[in-house]
Structure 1
């Protein structure tokens, strides 16, 4: 008996759209984490098991795809209960975060990118206010300061060689803790 998976998959048409979108986002997360934003669209489509036409229908540009991936990451970041927990989550997502930060720099006017930036600003503002109220962060620290720290942390950890990332993380976190602590 032949394996049912042999040959082309049946075309499910519009019914497959949501599954294809999820598969594309998951594939893009893995590909971006491994190779940054330079990864080819064809590699993402192949990993997702869909054609490039499907990829372009969902995400006409790489920036929009990166924004969709980071939108999912923001959901995880929103579960952070403090700036420390946020920094830990950013580090866990560092490679993808750095890729998205590169996208943000080059595409500030893309609505999907603006939306992510707004969500991140709201999240950081809420966590900062809570940490300041608890006396863990200096009251003079502004939301923009913490956003800068997040950007620096993601880029620094992502740029470090894999064998150096733990040390870079430890040193970066110590510096940021001193910089943000109450005076």
Structure 2
């Protein structure tokens, strides 16, 4: 993303602006944390702050939109009857490493926002769906639960949030392999 402002195309550009803002938010939150300046997201997306606030009036709105987009991708994967739990876990890992800061919010006990609770519920549902099908489960232990996977993802997210960016990819890869070893039989 260039960070240079695009020509104003008015309402016709709304969908493209929204997509650019979501992509910029993922990058910005990953690099600078959830408290990153919102104007940095707008600059990274190449749009004005007005466009940012038209689509996402609050910080929480853009964070929830990023989560929703990630969950939609996971739900699409799970909707494919041939998809496996390993593929789902791989996609979750990719999302986690791209935006580890967001996963800090996925702590059910801390969730007072019903929108976040709904997203957490959707994540549990797709994990439970793949875990309940022995053919999809693959090498994941029979006693592994959605809660176990959720906890593992949360632990990895917390670790990545404390890891300097230059080491994040290698730490993520090593940690993910360890977590998978614990989930497999």
Q: What is the TM-score with the length of structure 1 in the denominator?
A: 0.75
CA contact (8 A) 1:94 1:155 kept: no
In structure 2, distance between residues paired with 1:35 and 1:69: 15
CA contact (8 A) 1:91 1:153 kept: no
Residue equivalent to 1:28: 25
User: Are the structure 2 counterparts of residues 115 and 157 from structure 1 closer, same or farther at C-alpha, using a change threshold of 3 Å?
Assistant: same
Pick which of 138-147 and 27-36 moved more: 138-147
Structure 1 residue 121 corresponds to structure 2 residue 156:
no
In structure 1, distance between residues paired with 2:40 and 2:25: 9
Counterpart secondary structure, 1:57: helix
In structure 1, distance between residues paired with 2:120 and 2:93: 18
Q: CA RMSD in A?
A: 3.1
User: Are the structure 2 counterparts of residues 168 and 96 from structure 1 closer, same or farther at C-alpha, using a change threshold of 3 Å?
Assistant: closer
Question: Among residues 52, 55, 72, which one is paired with 1:58 in the alignment?
Answer: 55
Provide structure 1 residue ranges, at least 5 long, that are not aligned to the other structure.
Answer: 1-6
User: Are the structure 2 counterparts of residues 176 and 124 from structure 1 closer, same or farther at C-alpha, using a change threshold of 3 Å?
Assistant: same
Provide structure 2 residue ranges, at least 5 long, that are not aligned to the other structure.
Answer: none
User: Are the structure 2 counterparts of residues 92 and 73 from structure 1 closer, same or farther at C-alpha, using a change threshold of 3 Å?
Assistant: same
In structure 2, distance between residues paired with 1:24 and 1:37: 15
Structure with greater Cα Rg: 1
Q: What is the TM-score with the length of structure 2 in the denominator?
A: 0.74
Counterpart secondary structure, 2:105: helix
